[in-house]
Structure 1
Amino acid sequence: MNTMHGEADVPDPATKPLLHPTDIPEAQSLNLGGWWFGRLASVPVTVAFGAVVWLISGSPLTAIIAPAATFTIAMVSGRWFIARAWKFTPRQRRSREGARPPRLAAAALDALALVVAATAFTIATMTHPTPAGVVAFAIGAAAAVALLQLIELATMLVRGRDEGAILRRVIMLTGVVAAMVVAAALGIIRGWDPGLLWAALFGAGMPASLGAITVLLAHSIRRVLAGRRRHPQHEKETQP
């Protein structure tokens, strides 16, 4: 038998103790709106948008401003929708693990966005004057992203994470590899020096190394901040 929480009809705790907004009809539309705004605010989609804008406008400045504005609006809107959706769930029964299909769809869209970004970036470098160092930086960064995805997938397999999390990582890794293959193929067809690709992949050359280092540093900072958010109480207890 269902029970009422505010204006929502929630499943009985005996049959479903933990709840996600996808489990509550009144919260589903809000959660879906937040999900779509979250896709617009994801890093791969933002990068893809910027690459497409650069390809169309030919202006690197526009390619930065337009995605940045879209990212900010989408992030704020998405958090508003998600916060409203969570209000329909009792606090003590909340589960952060949502339904698998939307999470897999999010990974698939992010992977597709990586391929779009790589394609648009490669075509833009062919149609607009672009220093070789910028191309090497981008390739080095992409190689670092692929390496990180591979390491995280291996870590999940070793630790025995759930199949959904592993599948999402496989989807993202597939998108990264596909994006690199598409960019390399287009570049070679249009006359890129193959030596530039090999140099970037193996870390030779300052621009390629800087691209890889930038991604690794950003990833490390993100992991540290995520760890601090997960263990705020522990940090307070260990402070002198």
Structure 2
Amino acid sequence: MKHLKLAFVFTFLLAYNFGYSWGTTGHRVVAQIAQNHLTAKAKRHLKKLLGDEPMAYWANWPDFIKSDTTGVWKSTSAWHYINIDKQNNFQDFEAAIKSQKGPNLYTQIPILEAQIKDPNTAIKDKRIALYFLIHLVGDLAQPMHTGRYEDLGGNRIKLKFFGQDTNLHALWDSKLIDFTQYSYTEFARVLDVKSPDEVKQIQDGTLEDWLYDSHLQANRIYANSEAGKSYAYDYDYKFEALLERQLLYGGLRLAKVLNDIL
């Protein structure tokens, strides 16, 4: 655990609870789509780390350990998001994320990639780094994980969905996905239908590009989500395509990351 513990840095942001990203179904959808697009070489390396268990089995582990009472994993909570004020162009966005202090979604993904690639990293540490990487690339695609600090990525924006009290973050984590009533394998199957050229186009770009893309979608969500309002079919109709896009993009981009490092 030495490599991971060296990266565990406390930050004042940990005082807040930022919720779970995509919920269990969403993270499994991302993991399943990614597994569909792994190269033969990546699959061989993945088998050495995960055995016969699919990535979807471990996709939610970094959220589940938030319930650990020993405090061992407490500092990893900040890895799941990067809160940032609204940015209107890529240059300002890139400067803003690079100026933030402490561990966050932007800083930790490259660290995990390096740990997995490093031949000196112990197998057990590579395995844990892989669990986190599978999860965090999924987080990257959940727009509210690039939301604003003032409302904690939508956690403070209270509203109703089909009459039930919720908040904007939780709505995007799980409630919109649960509304579809797909299992994660069904959802992955209906989304993963792009041509090879389309897949390549989605996978192009840098980590900064992908984060900015997610941030732009968060800006759109903020502009069309009103605190205190009660939503139902109208909200699903407005955002169904975006929800599906983000899940698909998360899966395809996770495959790109894993194919590059495994």
Structure 1-normalised TM-score?
0.34
The structure whose residues are more often helix, as a share, is: 1
Q: With CA pairs under 8 Å and 6+ residues apart, which has the higher RCO, 1 or 2?
A: 2
